[in-house]
Amino acid sequence: MTKRSHGLFVGKTRHLSRHHVPSQLSVRTFIKSFKVGDQVAVVPKGNFRDIPHPRYRGKIGTVLEQRGSAYVVKVKIMSAYRTLIVPARHLEKAN
């Protein structure tokens, strides 16, 4: 008997596919830019290969720095702070 996989998206693809619209990715989503200190929301879009973990979906954080084409974002989860490295296409400006 084989052992069941417990990968990143086991049991979660239904929730991700509900908001997954690949045709809406335009050039604008790839050339976003943020400044240090901006408030951003983590919104996974496009290819599932480089998205942040689903537990951070919809969380609001602060941009700390830029690393290549990605950004380092500080997110508060309960009473702890996490540092995520997220590509720009998975971030949106928070109001």
Structure tokens at 60: 């609001």
**Where does the pLDDT of residue 62 fall: very low under 50, low under 70, confident under 90, or very high at 90 and above?**
very high
The pLDDT tens digits for 43-61 are 887 667 788 888 898 999 9
* pTM of the model as a whole: 0.76
Cβ atoms of 85 and 71 within 8 Å: the answer is yes
* Domain residue ranges in the chain: 32-93
Domain 32-93 has CATH 2.30.30.70: yes
